[in-house]
């Protein structure tokens, strides 16, 4: 799933939704070069939360690789 911030591609997210458990699993987050700052991490978190809401997920699990600096921002 591409993530846009200020009309620019800043990150890519690999989501999977478990319908039975109603959980959104994030299997990986990749950041485009030059967009590693925490403001972009917040925009990525907002996109993930929006997807979870749209799907009716009861929660989000971060199971995959993501930028180390983003762990705290994404999991809140």
Backbone angles phi and psi of 44, in degrees to 5: -65, -45
**Percentage of the chain with pLDDT > 70?**
99
Q: Note the pTM of the prediction, 2 decimals.
A: 0.88
pLDDT (average), residues 10-18 = 96
Token pair belonging to 49: 């939360």
Cβ within 8 Å of residue 63, ≥6 positions away: 25, 26, 27
Token pair belonging to 27: 């299997």
Q: How confident is the model at residue 50 (pLDDT cuts 50, 70, 90)?
A: very high
Residue 17 and residue 48 in contact, taking contact as beta carbons nearer than 8 Å:
no
pLDDT number for residue 6: 85
Identify the bridge partners of residue 26 per DSSP, sorted by sequence position: 15, 62
């Amino acid at each position: 799933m591409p993530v846009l911030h200020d009309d620019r591609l800043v990150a890519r997210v690999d989501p999977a939704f478990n319908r039975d458990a109603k959980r959104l699993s994030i299997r990986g987050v990749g950041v485009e070069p030059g967009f590693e700052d925490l403001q972009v991490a917040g925009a990525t978190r907002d996109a993930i939360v929006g997807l979870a809401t749209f799907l009716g997920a009861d929660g989000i699990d971060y199971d995959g690789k993501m930028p180390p600096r983003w762990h705290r921002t994404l999991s809140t």
